[in-house]
Amino acid sequence: MMSGSPASTVEEPKQVTFWPGNPLSYTTTKIVCYYNEVHLGDATGFIFKAAQRYALVTNWHVVSGRNPITGQALDRTTGCVPNRIKFHAAIELDDETKRDLVHFREFILPLYGEDGEPLWLDAKEDDNQRDIAVVPLNPHVPELANDAADIRAIHGGKVTLEPGIDPRHRDIQFEDLKHFLPPVGAEVFVLGYPKGITPNGIFPIWKRASIASEPQVGISLGDQDYEDAFYIDAMTNQGMSGSPVVYMARTGDMMFTKDNIGVQVKNDEPFLVGVYAGRNGVSGLEGDLALGRVWGVSLLERIVMSGGKAQLAFTLLPD
């Protein structure tokens, strides 16, 4: 039985000279899971921004400590599940005199409130395997009281509209939006911390992968079809659960919605396509074939919106 959740703690930030590198490397974090003081394991997460709200995104099985199919505890030695996590975020001030400085702040947050209810958002039910969890961050980041402060984050909300929808005539609903993904075979990158490895204590390892199933179609898991999931072919390792899966799009690349509407990329830019769910719950055959499951960005954004914690600011791309 879980004891009372430890109070959240926030350490003073460490100010360092700005390090060069890909901006996405500043958005990821290693997550260390604890039951009280017992270290249960490591995983990956990333900071996601929706409008002016920030969240830590990872897998449901990371924060719950349970297999998404059977519900059994993943730590077979102790049988414990985590009640707090440790991670970091890169915080900067949008100030002309401090553009070259980044604060790497470490956080230790409880996973359950005083009433025993989870402090994360998800779409997981007993009858499905949707393996994403979202931890709202704004209340835990004191720097955000300053309007000039920002957290290095992956931005969501890149969509096109359902054909025939005119935003001049009525308010746009989530169901009117069309997310788009690269085609099967496209190269993507999984940014995470395999076996807890990080080159400098902060930055992730970039693992190359390719989309291995038709992402516009979805996959079948057990006796259910999931339109918001697809496979990637990747040699990933333990510790990468919760990693962002990113497509480094080039100008002119074509991406596609579920109903095959083509969207042409106008600029070189990265696109978040989903959250890597690791190999927890995959079949033996999937593991032998080096297949990993990815839950699509549309599911992530639906969780954020349904939780009432943020309203997404969508960027509409023309078809």
| Per-residue pLDDT tens over the stretch 76-100 | 889 999 999 999 999 987 666 555 5
Assigned token pair, 145: 């009281």
Has residue 56 been placed in a domain?
yes
Among 151, 171, 203, the domain boundary falls at 151
Q: How confident is the model at residue 161 (pLDDT cuts 50, 70, 90)?
A: low
pLDDT over 60 (residue 13)? no
* Whether residue 54 is found in the same domain as residue 178: no
Among 151, 168, 185, the domain boundary falls at 151
Domain count along the chain: 2
Q: Give the predicted TM-score (pTM) of the model.
A: 0.86
* Whether residue 143 is found in the same domain as residue 170: no
Of the candidates 245, 10, 46, 304, the residue with the CA atom closest to the CA atom of residue 153: 46
CATH code at 222? 2.40.10.10
Query: What is the rounded distance in angstroms from the CA atom of residue 96 to the CA atom of residue 15?
Result: 16
> How much is the mean pLDDT over the chain?
83
What pLDDT is stored for residue 6 in this prediction? 59
* Whether residue 231 is found in the same domain as residue 251: yes
Has residue 4 been placed in a domain?
no
What pLDDT is stored for residue 196 in this prediction? 87
* Whether residue 223 is found in the same domain as residue 298: yes
* Whether residue 51 is found in the same domain as residue 147: yes
Has residue 3 been placed in a domain?
no
Domain of residue 146 covers 9-151
Has residue 45 been placed in a domain?
yes
* Whether residue 255 is found in the same domain as residue 299: yes
pLDDT over 60 (residue 45)? yes
Has residue 2 been placed in a domain?
no
pLDDT over 90 (residue 280)? no
pLDDT tens-place string over residues 187-230: 999 999 998 888 888 899 999 999 999 999 988 887 888 989 99
* Whether residue 118 is found in the same domain as residue 188: no
pLDDT over 70 (residue 173)? no
Query: What is the rounded distance in angstroms from the CA atom of residue 201 to the CA atom of residue 298?
Result: 31
Lowest mean pLDDT among 139-153, 168-182, 266-280: 168-182
* Whether residue 285 is found in the same domain as residue 180: yes
Among 92, 124, 151, the domain boundary falls at 151
* Whether residue 164 is found in the same domain as residue 297: yes
What pLDDT is stored for residue 309 in this prediction? 35
